[in-house]
Structure 1
Amino acid sequence: MKLNQTTLDKLEAILEESGYIVRYERGTFQSGYCILEQKKVVVLNKFLQLEGRINTMLDLIPQLKVEFDALTADSQKLYEEVLAMAALKQAEE
């Protein structure tokens, strides 16, 4: 997966299509992000560089309740890719 702005935009689109609000804020996040489950808000550390933002999103998306049917075809494909990468990463650990 390429680490560029387009990839980040596509990852953000997965969350937005599932009803999540993605915000970049200042804070002391040990993991680089904070999830407010009840309000469906994801807050990422605004000081992360592009690569850090993408890697954080890749770690975050498999943990969330994403509505697969609400996603566009492109987002569904990327979501499946993200899940496969997460499963591979977990298998390695």
Structure 2
Amino acid sequence: MEVKYTKSFLNKLEDVFAESDYILRYEKGNFKSGYCILNDNKVVIVNKYYTLEGKVSCLIEILGQVDLNTKDLCDKNRNFYLELTQTSLKL
């Protein structure tokens, strides 16, 4: 899958997080994006001042590191996630 740095591609990534157990938040500050687990809450925090390319790259990297339950995802998002992770593994 070709990674596209567009708003619609970012929306697809956000949709995957919306259907997962993870809460996606955009916050301001001087920090690197990432994810953490706080009191059994899975939270992904992305710097809101990142460029579009930075947000997309960060979310792809985080998706490669977390363990998502694909059974919770709708067919469209499941196929997108699986295609994205298979492409990322080949790189």
Q: TM-score, normalised by structure 1?
A: 0.83
Q: Secondary structure in 2 aligned to 1:36?
A: strand
Secondary structure (helix, strand or coil) at the match of 1:47 reads coil
Q: Do the aligned partners of 2:34 and 2:62 also contact (CA within 8 Å) in 1?
A: no
2:22 matches 1:34: no
Q: Which structure shows the higher strand fraction?
A: 2
SS at match of 1:35: strand
Unaligned runs of 5+ in 1: none
TM-score, normalising length: structure 2? 0.85
Q: 1:59 aligns with which of 54, 58, 61?
A: 61
**In 1, Cα distance between equivalents of 2:20 and 2:26:** 18
Q: State the alpha-carbon separation in 2 of the partners of residues 8 and 56 from structure 1.
A: 10
The Cα of 1:34 is off from its aligned counterpart by 2.6
Higher helix share: 1
CA distance in 1, matches of 2:61, 2:87: 10
Q: What residue ranges of structure 2 are gaps of 5+ in the alignment?
A: none
Whether 1:5 aligns to 2:7 is: yes
Instruction: Give 3-state SS (helix, strand or coil) of 2:59's partner.
Output: helix
Instruction: Please give the secondary structure, in 1, of the residue aligned with 2:46.
Output: strand
After the TM superposition, which segments of 4 or more aligned residues of structure 1 sit over 3 Å from their partners? Answer: none
Distance (Å, rounded) in 2 between the aligned partners of 1:85 and 1:40: 25
1:75 aligned partner: 77
Structure 1 vs Structure 2 CA RMSD: 1.3
1:39 CA displacement: 1.2
